[in-house]
Amino acid sequence: MGGEVRELFDTAFGALVRDYRSEYVYKNIITKKLIFGVHSPNSAALLTEFWVNHSKADSVVLNGTSTVYEIKTEYDNLSRLPQQLADYTKVFDRINVVTHDGAVSSVLAMVPEHVGVIALSRRKSLQKVKPATSNIDRLDHWTMFNCLRKQEFANILTRRFGGIPQTTPDMLRTLAFEQFSRLPKDVLSAEFVHEVRKRTTDMEVAQFASALPESLRTLGLSERLSRVARTRLLATLASSRALSLGD
């Protein structure tokens, strides 16, 4: 059996696309079309499974603004969609639901005016059924503050107010939020993107993900592997299938 190990993954992914369009299939196509298509992994950040309140956003793209893609596959129901969209409306500038052709009409009937709808076709294209519009006026300071790590909101307050409040540890978040809540919403959105994208925007990670087979690029951008682990994985993927299978 010839060829490289990487080809096995792309072959397996092709079978998933054909026979079992799981959430990972949707995520990986979003990554291919947007991060490696419309944008670039050197400038756009991808976050998967980003928590907002009790909702876990499937794919978030940060590239000058914030866009969330909530995935509803053929195997999902829509019962939680209204609450998920309500949560995302508090944090992200643009919100899209990505679904299959059979659910488009149901999703269109459920989504608010500002939420976009995208259909994943059988040919793996993302078809914009309804465009998303800017949601900045609906952003919620408290929800966004709680999505940030301590160092992230500290960086924002340092840039905008010269530093964080000098107080006791148990009062820090309360007084920090008092400052944070004074940010205009357009500034709030820009600062949120600036900080959160640092979690995944890294030149080495971008180069690593670009070297992976298309079927693994979402994992390459979202999983934090050490430099040694990345090198080993690329070497394994480049090895011959015969050697890897012990033939």
pLDDT in tens, 51-64: 999 999 999 999 98
Distance from C-alpha of 90 to C-alpha of 95, rounded to nearest angstrom: 10
Q: Where do the structural domains in the chain lie, given as residue ranges?
A: 5-136+201-244, 139-198
Mean pLDDT of 18-32: 94
Decide the pairing of beta strands 66-72 and 94-100: parallel
- The residue with tokens 């309140």 is 53
10 falls in which pLDDT band (50, 70, 90)? very high
**pLDDT exceeds 70 at position 1:** no
Q: Which CATH number fits domain 5-136+201-244: 2.40.128, 3.90.320, 3.40.1350, 1.10.10?
A: 3.40.1350
What is the per-residue pLDDT for 82? Answer: 98
Name every residue whose Cβ is closer than 8 Å to that of residue 8 and which is 6 or more positions away in sequence. 241
Adjacent-strand bridge partners of 128: 118
pLDDT in tens, 175-207: 999 999 999 999 999 999 999 998 887 788 889
Distance from C-alpha of 145 to C-alpha of 140, rounded to nearest angstrom: 9
Distance from C-alpha of 140 to C-alpha of 181, rounded to nearest angstrom: 9
What is the per-residue pLDDT for 223? Answer: 84
pLDDT in tens, 126-177: 999 999 999 999 999 999 999 999 999 999 999 999 999 999 988 999 999 9
What is the per-residue pLDDT for 203? Answer: 84
pLDDT in tens, 78-122: 999 999 999 999 999 999 999 999 999 999 999 999 999 999 998
